[in-house]
Amino acid sequence: MRLIRWRFWNVLTLLLSGLFMGVALGLLAWFSYRYARYWAKALVSDRFALANDIILTEAVPAGWRLKLVEAFVRRDPQAPIRRRIHALLYGWYIRRLDGVARQIAASSIIKKADKLELITALQMVRSEWQRAASRPGED
pTM for this predicted structure: 0.67
**What does the pLDDT profile of the chain (139 residues) look like in tens digits?**
455 666 777 888 889 999 999 999 999 999 999 999 888 777 766 778 888 899 999 999 988 999 999 899 888 888 889 999 999 999 999 999 999 999 888 888 788 998 899 999 999 999 999 998 887 766 5
H/E/C letters for each residue in the chain? CCCCCCCHHHHHHHHHHHHHHHHHHHHHHHHHHHHHHHHHHHHHHHHHHHHHHHHHHCCCCCCCCCHHHHHHHHHCCCCHHHHHHHHHHHHHHHHHHHHHHHHHHHCCCCCHHHHHHHHHHHHHHHHHHHHHHCCCCCC
Residue 77, pLDDT score? 82
The domain spans of the chain are 42-133
